[in-house]
């Protein structure tokens, strides 16, 4: 389990809150290169579906973010979805993506 700095711990808290607020499968949060944070939960509508991290990346990009410093996904699945990784890698090749369980324990 990696030691997170205070800024990344805030992302875990935001991701957990987003997941709990909507009782979604996943919650995610990210910090852009300007220090702004974005949080989202899984979107599961009849016409479209997004992982929580895809939704957070969409919010960041639509707000003008040009890069991502770090991201967190909170899920009970224990696995990071490939689509989530691709969403971040489209913008930031090397930004860390942390996976945490619903209690906030970072798994990777």
84 sits in which H/E element? helix 82-89
Q: Which pLDDT does position 83 carry in this prediction?
A: 97
Residue 1 lies in a domain: no
pLDDT digits (tens, 9 = 90+) for 39-89: 999 999 999 999 999 999 999 999 999 999 999 999 999 899 999 999 999
Residue 12 lies in a domain: yes
Residue 47 lies in a domain: yes
What CATH number corresponds to the domain at position 96?
3.40.140.10
What range defines the domain where residue 36 resides?
A: 6-107
- Interior angle at CA 22, CA 17 and CA 28, nearest 5: 50
Provide the number of structural domains found in the chain: 1
Q: Which pLDDT does position 1 carry in this prediction?
A: 60
For the chain, the residue count is: 108
pTM: 0.95
> Is beta strand 49-50 parallel, antiparallel or unpaired with respect to 43-44?
antiparallel
């Amino acid at each position: 389990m990696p030691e997170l700095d205070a800024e990344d711990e805030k992302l875990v808290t935001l991701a957990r809150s987003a997941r709990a607020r909507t009782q979604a499968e996943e919650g995610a949060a990210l910090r852009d290169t300007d220090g702004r944070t974005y949080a989202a939960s899984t979107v599961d509508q009849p016409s479209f579906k997004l992982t929580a991290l895809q939704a957070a990346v969409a919010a960041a990009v639509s707000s003008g973010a040009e890069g991502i410093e770090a991201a967190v996904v909170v899920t009970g699945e224990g696995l990071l979805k490939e689509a989530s990784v691709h969403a971040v890698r489209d913008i930031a090749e090397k930004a860390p993506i942390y996976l945490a369980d619903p209690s906030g324990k970072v798994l990777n």
